[in-house]
Amino acid sequence: MIRPNQNLFIFIVSFVLLAACSNPSSEESADDSQVTSKAPAKQSSEEKNLASVVDQYLLLKDALVASSPEESKAKATDMLGVIDATNMMGVQQSAKQIATAADLETQRIYFDSLSVNLYKLLETQDGKNKTLYKQYCPMAFDNRGAYWLSNAEEIRNPYFGDQMLKCGRVEETIEY
């Protein structure tokens, strides 16, 4: 048989446990948010936008590999159409320059800055559900060298196209 004091004790303990479960501490909340931010099904709109920008970047890279200035302009314009985040100003400016450049060499110069800006942006991301390869050609721009991002380990050089298609190496694997 439960006595009145035991009922009060059970009630208080139940209330405390219920309150603790429904109001997690800020430390617990931070841990939970980190777990959900890494889940691909719950991507933020910013992460989805970045994924769309990366997809367009890769299509632009392929157009440069094919040495097609018209296709490169079109892909840069497509890329501008998916950029909607304010933290992508450098990416946006470089894409605009490629979209308005008339010749392949100028497009490749701006592609270098686009690659640098996109890489810097990817470095700040927490989600780790996609892989890119940071690749490097030491001979680009009169041996100054230049980087680009690829979704394949196989080298397809956007700075030389068919002239030196396989010139380069993988420098880093990026999880974003």
Write down the pLDDT at residue 5.
58
- pTM metric for this prediction: 0.74
Q: CB-based contacts of 52: which residues, under 8 Å, 6+ apart?
A: 82
Query: Count of alpha carbons within 13 Å of 25, Cβ hemisphere only?
Result: 2
**Residue range 88-125, pLDDT digits in tens:** 999 999 999 999 999 999 999 999 999 999 999 999 88
Please state, in angstroms and rounded to a whole number, the distance separating the CA atoms of residues 164 and 84: 35
Fill in the amino acid letter for 46. Answer: E
What whole-number percentage of the chain has pLDDT above 90?
65
Q: What backbone phi and psi angles, to 5 degrees, belong to 95?
A: -65, -40
Token pair 């270098």 is found at 112
What ranges do the domains of the chain cover? Answer: 45-175
Q: Which residues pair with 134 in a beta bridge?
A: 149, 172
